Amino acid sequence: MAYLFKRISGVRGQITAPDLGAIVGVMEKWEITRRGGESGATRYDLRAVFSFINPLLFNDPDYTKEASVILGRTKEFRAQLAEAEETVLTGRVLLVRGVKLHERQA
């Protein structure tokens, strides 16, 4: 599904390993940007800064990671990091390029 926004940001979000039921990282702030200029684009870039991150678990390829960010009180977007074109964690900063978003009510 394509969303109307070009760029949104917030402060509540996390990375989880659903298979483990574990929180891998807690976001301090995040920003999502729609790729390309067209309104029908279905891929997004996610940039996040963490207050906490477990880099060993984040980089473990045996577990699927999922990002979730909360916008306002009720809007939650989720993204499977395995579906992304590129994922780079540098210290406490995460850049995920070309991810698909899935909306869920928080």
What confidence tens digit (pLDDT) does each residue in 2-43 have?
566 789 999 999 999 999 999 999 999 999 999 876 656 689
50 within 8 A of 25, measured Cβ to Cβ: yes
Instruction: Please indicate, yes or no, if residue 32 is contained in any of the structural domains.
Output: yes
Residue 18 lies in domain: 7-101
Instruction: Please indicate, yes or no, if residue 37 is contained in any of the structural domains.
Output: yes
Token readout for 82 is 């395995």
The percent of residues above 70 in pLDDT, for the chain, comes to 90
Instruction: Please indicate, yes or no, if residue 73 is contained in any of the structural domains.
Output: yes
Instruction: Please indicate, yes or no, if residue 1 is contained in any of the structural domains.
Output: no
Q: Which pLDDT band holds residue 94 (cuts at 50, 70, 90)? A: very high
Q: What pLDDT is recorded for position 72? A: 83
Instruction: Please indicate, yes or no, if residue 106 is contained in any of the structural domains.
Output: no
Number of domains into which the chain is organized: 1
Instruction: Please indicate, yes or no, if residue 41 is contained in any of the structural domains.
Output: yes
Instruction: Please indicate, yes or no, if residue 78 is contained in any of the structural domains.
Output: yes
- What's the mean pLDDT in 70-93? 92
Instruction: Please indicate, yes or no, if residue 2 is contained in any of the structural domains.
Output: no
Q: What pLDDT is recorded for position 74? A: 81
The set of residues, in sequence order, having a beta carbon less than 8 Å from that of 100 and lying 6+ positions away, is: 42, 43, 44, 79, 80, 83
